[in-house]
Amino acid sequence: MSAENNIYKKAGTRFVHAGATPDPSTGAIMTPIYQTSTYVQEAPGVNKGYEYARSQNPTRKALEDALAIIENGKFGLAFSSGVAATDAVIKLLNPGDEVIAANDMYGGTYRLFTKVFAKYGIKFIYVDTTDVANIEAAVTVNTKLIWIETPTNPLMNITDIHAVSKISRKAGATLCVDNTFASPYFQNPLDLGADIVMHSSTKYLGGHSDVIQGALVMNDANLREQLYFIQKSCGAVPGPMDCFLVLRGIKTLHVRMKQHNENGYMVAHFLRKHPNVEKVYWCGFADHPNHDIAKIQMLGFGGMMSFTLKDNSTEAANRVLSSTKLFALAESLGGVESLINHPATMTHASIPREERIKNGLTDGLIRLSVGIEDADDLIEDLKQAIG
């Protein structure tokens, strides 16, 4: 089943079958790991479409077809990490171009923009994208890219993708949406008007905390050509073994996401009722800001959430962070096992403190990636850790 032949209409069937065609030489039902750097040519310039593995690899091709299918796009490209995928998008730009980006997003994206690309003369303007009027107000003749993340990491803020796509189109800019937190099961930004979807495949797509990888999906052939050119020219390609792992992860994405969502609901409601908890950031609550938009653009709310304690000090947060037994203290998210993380010192330490606090990311904030274990066990664990 290829991206051009999308005959499986329902999501579950799509996730199981995306990109998989029996291996032509043996009939192997699973795409083999083509662990090769080069391909023997029949004559100079005569080959089977594979010349050198930085440019083409059959395992990667199967994954890229799968990525396109699961995001309702035409073309997928796989990268050696999520930030490598982001890096490729920014390399579409020229000095003098402007990017409007969310003021609350993954710390590594912020670091890449401010510490690596700003010095090449690309200007990044950070706004609160939860109110799209802020984006509209920041548009200039030089705006070439709008970069949003929804829900955001770690405050679970929601941005209206369709509304931003209208602004982006009017400005003649490209809209890229980091869809890592929602996953393609809960949200498909291309259907809502985005030009590019970006994923850290390390998270829900891989799903088992055993691979680092990134993805881009798009509909426009010209954009695909430019990004493919950057992929092969800059060389941030994933190895075939890693492509195999993400292909395997995708097959169970819908089943895992349903459980993440169910457990997320249970844990979020438990935390909200806990007397020592001040605030829970989870986009499934009816009183979450922009919940109405989340309800329209997302199929589920997932297992990512953050919370603060009534005692919003680093010490109190540290006590919880070091006393969970099931929730492992680690960066990353989206795996089958539950993780607990302290954004201020871990995932978001690369954002200056004043910037962080200004955007609501306080020193006491605790982030959870709720896994697919039994929700009762997870709640018991949090109960004993929060006290």
Ligand X SMILES: *Cc1c(COP(=O)(O)O)cnc(C)c1O
**Residues assigned a catalytic role:** 54, 106, 178, 203
Minimum distance between the CB of residue 97 and ligand X, rounded to whole angstroms?
21
Paired strand residues for 328: 339
3-state SS, residue 255: helix
Length of the chain: 387
**Residues between 86 and 115 that touch ligand X (CB under 6 A):** 106, 108-109
| CA distances from residue 79 to 55, 200, 201 in whole angstroms, order as listed | 12, 9, 9
Exposure of 139 in the CB half-sphere (CA atoms within 13 A): 21
Applying CB under 6 A, which of residues 11, 18, 83, 257 lies at the interface with ligand X? 83
187 binds ligand X (CB under 6 A): no
Tell me if residue 143 falls in helix, strand or coil.
strand
What contacts 363, CB < 8 A, 6 or more positions away? 312, 313, 314, 317, 344, 357
Kindly indicate which of the ranges 174-182, 266-274, 311-319, 335-343 contains the residues binding ligand X, using the contact rule CB under 6 A. Answer: 174-182
Supply the DSSP symbol for 366. E
Distance CA 382, CA 387 (A): 8
Cβ–Cβ under 8 Å, residues 152 and 302: no
In terms of CB distance, is 160 or 242 closer to ligand X? 242
> Hey, what are 56's tokens?
């083409």
Q: CA-CA distance, 238 to 277, in Å (whole number)?
A: 41
CB of 85 to ligand X, least distance (A): 8
Question: CA distances (Å), 22 to each of 1, 19, 44, 195, 288, in order?
Answer: 9, 10, 29, 31, 46
Question: Does 180 engage in binding with ligand X (CB under 6 A)?
Answer: yes
Q: How far is it, in rounded angstroms, from Cα 360 to Cα 90? A: 27
Q: Which is nearer to ligand X, 181 or 186 (CB)?
A: 181
User: By beta-carbon distance, which residue lies closest to ligand X?
Assistant: 82
Please identify, using beta-carbon distances, which residue of 157 and 180 lies nearer to ligand X.
Answer: 180
Q: Tell me the C-alpha distance between 324 and 379, whole Å.
A: 10
Tell me the closest approach of the beta carbon of residue 21 to ligand X, in angstroms. 27
Under rule CB under 6 A, how many of the chain's residues touch ligand X?
16
Interface pick for ligand X out of 31, 57, 59, 81 (rule CB under 6 A): 81
The residues in 200-229 that bind ligand X, with binding defined as CB under 6 A, are 200, 202-203, 212, 214
Rounded to a whole number of angstroms, the minimum distance from the CB of residue 104 to ligand X is 11
The CB-of-332 to ligand X minimum distance in angstroms stands at: 7
Q: Segment 117-156, which members bind ligand X (CB under 6 A)?
A: 149, 153
Of 202 and 324, the one with the shorter C-beta distance to ligand X is: 202
Q: What are 145's strand-pairing partners?
A: 99, 174
CB of 72 to ligand X, least distance (A): 20
Q: Nearest 5°: CA angle at 151, between 145 and 154?
A: 105
**Segment near ligand X (CB under 6 A); pick from 76-84, 130-138, 215-223, 251-259:** 76-84
Could you give the count of Cα atoms lying within 13 Å of 47 in the half-sphere of its Cβ? 11
Name the residue nearer to ligand X (CB basis): 31 or 213: 213
Q: Which stretch binds ligand X (CB under 6 A): 27-35, 177-185, 291-299, 373-381?
A: 177-185
Taking CB under 6 A as the binding criterion, the range among 27-35, 48-56, 175-183, 285-293 that sits at the site for ligand X is 175-183
Residue 109 or 308 having the CB closest to ligand X? 109
Q: Is 178 in the site for ligand X (CB under 6 A)?
A: yes
Task: Note whether 323 and 309 are within 8 A (CB).
Answer: no
**Rounded to the nearest whole angstrom, what is the least distance from the CB of residue 307 to ligand X in the complex?**
18
- Please provide residue 259's backbone torsions phi and psi, each rounded to the nearest 5 degrees: -75, -40
Q: How do beta strands 304-309 and 277-281 pair?
A: antiparallel
Nearer to ligand X, 159 or 386 (CB): 159
Q: Residue 64 or residue 178: which is nearer to ligand X going by CB?
A: 178
User: Taking the complex as a whole, how short is the minimal distance between the CB of residue 39 and ligand X, in angstroms?
Assistant: 28
Task: Return the range that interacts with ligand X (CB under 6 A); candidates 18-26, 75-83, 126-134, 282-290.
Answer: 75-83
Looking at 129-182, list the stretches that DSSP marks H as alpha helix, in order from N- to C-terminal side.
132-138, 161-171
Interacting residues with ligand X (CB under 6 A): 81-83, 106, 108-109, 149, 153, 178, 180-181, 200, 202-203, 212, 214
